Structure 1
Amino acid sequence: MARVLYCWELGAGYGHTAAFLPVARQLKSLGHEVIFALKDLEYADTLLAEDHFCYLQAPIRWPDNRPQTPASSYPGILQNAGFADKTGLLTRVKAWQSLYRHVAPDLIICDHAPTALLAARKFDMPRAGFGTGFFSPPRISPMPNIRPWMRVSDKALSTVESQVLSTTNSVLECLNTPPLRILADLFELADDFICTFPELDHYRQWRTANYWGPNILQTDGIEPIWPSVGAEKIFVYLRPEYPGLEVLLKQLRASPWSILMHIPGTTPAFIEKNSSANLHITPHPVIISAAANQCDLGICHGGLATVSAFLLAGKPLLTLPSQLEQLISAQNILALGVGSYISAENKNLNYKAALTELLRNSKHTQAAQQFAGKYAGFSSAQQAIDIAKRCEMLMKDAYIKGNS
């Protein structure tokens, strides 16, 4: 039996943990132990207790609520995540290293966990990336502008990257660990599980990769129960803090559609206040594959697991991105012709008009159906099996190498 440590450091929600859960179950079925080091423990027991997975609090940077410059590249994301502060970064790296010594994993899986990757360079153990691809930038320098709608000079990109690289190498020097040549060397991995389709890759124009397809939970959640009032069915999955939620709810209640909405963590009082004959709200996760197959259209923030579930079912999408990763996904969706989006900065929140256009103009559904046809052979269950087997191979190779 080998031990796998899954590390999640940046990002929000329960999507990170949920995405790796099918792989963890496969690894467990192969006789291996999986331990989760998680940024946010709020949903840990809900997701992991049934399978008896152990979980720990990941070493993370405590938010200080100071305003941050919007990142234009992955190094900018790292800068905002604490890679500009040598003292804080060194402390967190040492905390990760203490965790590694305590857990003694045979394989580290890093899901948007750059500090965990940095800490692992001191250890002779295989490490792999896992996630949508947004967390695994192309291995070039400088790393590209991830806001292509904004003009950012190569000099500006290089300046930020150099600053982050300098801080990173200062930390490595304190730990008697060889420096990085370029920042992309942080991602020296035994394998990189980029879990998306090429068309939805956030860096699709900058790389070719081995794409493993998206992570979609097929069985977890409740069965969708639709309001009996309304014609076309719309499924909505949004966070409760979405700023346009009140306006959206008002417009949906006044619409001619049957709407099922999942808002995690919402209260009974909120549900009672905002529900109607044609709009049902649930705080419980809904089986996403079932909702996607039964509905005519989906609304979400643009998380790749949700987006992929609807596109594989041949359903168009209205995305309401609330952060950069989701905005890039929304633009990819628009480019594919399978949906549209309304940005958080948009002052004219006419959701009903956007939904009407998506439902009435058949080109969006046709494009989504074409996408579904292209990937008709994709199996999320098989993907989890394949990734688990590859993880097992990485651990075997490391064991053979260590003994030789």
Structure 2
Amino acid sequence: MKRRILFGWDFGAGNGHAVILREIARHFPPESHDLLFAMRYPVTAISVGIDPRLVIQAPDNALRPADQPLSKPVARSTYGEFVCEALIGPGRDFAQRLAGWDSIITAFKPDAIVAEYAPALSLFARGRVPVAAIGSGYSLPPAGMAEFPSLTKKPLPRFASEAELVERLNGYLRKAGALPIDRLPQLNAADTHGLMTLPLLDPYLEFRDGGCLGISHSGPAPVPVQAAAGFIAYFGEPWQLNGAFLDGLLGAGIAGQAFLGPPLRRTVKRMAGSSITINDRPFDIAREMPGRAVAIHMGTLGFAAAAACAGIPQFMLPQHQEN
């Protein structure tokens, strides 16, 4: 009888989330396993080579009218506040997200779950199905901490205290028939953990008991080379709608190649005749990154780690706390 493995992805926008799950899935031969990928962005999973027949939409928080207009800062001081605001903040429906994971698990009946930056899935499945939580240094904080440390030196407005957040989360979890938590870092509680990053990029290094597994690419890791020319850029698809960003790439007058998600026709037209090549697929990091003079990106941890391995300078345009 085949074993059923559910791969889940809740948060984050980069290709790296899907790439990690794709690489893990290679170790489960189809002759003995049935796989299902519940992905935040199915098109991203398909673009990195996951079989479209195995990909479904992961549950997402449906926006509902808030009591008052939502006004929040770009970042919170801790991972716990950041994630909880995304799950239970104004205009969010955590109950619906949990119900969505319930439906997927009930229908597929997995023997094990691989959760990549998927705290809602981990919370719902805890104690029901064995869970392996996978993530980067930022997205997989140690679940054994008493509380989350601040990730910024700047004072930021609080969303809520950790005690308040635990109480509110538990209200939803109990109604969904899931196990409650005692401490907020149990957002990432699982039967086993896989830390996919480099120590250089782990904000929780001092709190870890174990080591990291490094970064995952389809080929070997990039290594430094002597020659350096042009840029390599990686940004999500929404950046194709940012005219100032595209004008900046063109105005720099530097040759390079960029992957901005599946290319829109308007982007291809805008870049036509320039010295910038727009890729229609994710980069082969080991082959295409070495030899570039600079890596330009949105702060994606996998891309940052690869650039560090290649020994090239980085210019980042971060959008939120993880970046």
TM-score of the two chains, using structure 1 as the length reference: 0.67
1:322 maps to 319
Distance change >3 Å, CA 32–CA 133, structure 1 → 2: farther
Distance (whole Å) between structure 1 residues aligned to residue 19 and residue 247 of structure 2: 29
Instruction: Write the deviation string for residues 316-372 of structure 1: whole angstroms up to 9, x where unpaired.
Output: 22222222211xxxxxxxxxxxxxxxxxxxxxxxxxxxxxxxxxxxxxxxxxxxxxx
1:292 maps to 289
Q: Count matched residues.
A: 306
- 260, 266, 279: which one pairs with 2:263? 266
- Give the Å deviation of 1:275: 4.5
Matched, 1:42 2:43: yes
Matched, 1:119 2:120: no
SS of 1:15's equivalent in the other structure is helix
Distance (whole Å) between structure 2 residues aligned to residue 305 and residue 87 of structure 1: 28
Cα contact 1:9–1:112 (8 A) shared by 2: yes
2:59 maps to 59
Distance (whole Å) between structure 2 residues aligned to residue 57 and residue 114 of structure 1: 16
Distance change >3 Å, CA 170–CA 272, structure 1 → 2: closer
- Give the Å deviation of 1:66: 3.6
Q: 1:154-165 counterparts in 2 under 5 A?
A: 159-165=160-166
Cα contact 2:137–2:201 (8 A) shared by 1: no
1:137 maps to 141
- Give the Å deviation of 1:277: 5.3
Computed over aligned residues only, the root mean square deviation of the Cα atoms, in angstroms, reads: 2.9
Cα contact 2:135–2:196 (8 A) shared by 1: yes
SS of 2:113's equivalent in the other structure is strand
Distance change >3 Å, CA 320–CA 105, structure 1 → 2: same
The structure number with the bigger radius of gyration is: 1
1:309 maps to 306
Gaps of 5+ in 1: 220-230, 327-404
2:153 maps to 149
Give the AA of the match of 1:11: G
1:180 maps to 181
Distance (whole Å) between structure 2 residues aligned to residue 7 and residue 240 of structure 1: 21
- Give the Å deviation of 1:20: 1.4
SS of 2:289's equivalent in the other structure is helix
Distance (whole Å) between structure 1 residues aligned to residue 155 and residue 126 of structure 2: 35
Cα contact 1:299–1:319 (8 A) shared by 2: yes
SS of 2:146's equivalent in the other structure is coil
2:72 maps to 68
SS of 1:209's equivalent in the other structure is coil
Cα contact 1:86–1:168 (8 A) shared by 2: no
Distance change >3 Å, CA 265–CA 52, structure 1 → 2: closer
- 101, 107, 126: which one pairs with 1:102? 107
SS of 1:298's equivalent in the other structure is strand
Distance (whole Å) between structure 2 residues aligned to residue 286 and residue 262 of structure 1: 7
Q: 1:159-238 counterparts in 2 under 5 A?
A: 159-175=160-176, 177-218=178-219, 232-238=229-235
- Give the Å deviation of 1:195: 0.0
Moved more, 272-281 or 15-24: 272-281
Give the AA of the match of 1:166: E
1:20 maps to 21
Gaps of 5+ in 2: 221-227
SS of 1:283's equivalent in the other structure is coil
Distance (whole Å) between structure 1 residues aligned to residue 94 and residue 270 of structure 2: 45
Instruction: Write the deviation string for residues 129-169 of structure 1: whole angstroms up to 9, x where unpaired.
Output: 111132222332331112x231359xx58x43222211111
TM-score of the two chains, using structure 2 as the length reference: 0.82
Cα contact 2:47–2:281 (8 A) shared by 1: no
Cα contact 1:271–1:282 (8 A) shared by 2: no
SS of 1:181's equivalent in the other structure is coil
Distance change >3 Å, CA 35–CA 152, structure 1 → 2: same
Give the AA of the match of 1:76: E
- Give the Å deviation of 1:101: 1.6
Q: Percent identity?
A: 22
SS of 2:81's equivalent in the other structure is helix
Moved more, 82-91 or 111-120: 82-91
Distance (whole Å) between structure 2 residues aligned to residue 264 and residue 176 of structure 1: 38
Distance (whole Å) between structure 2 residues aligned to residue 90 and residue 281 of structure 1: 40
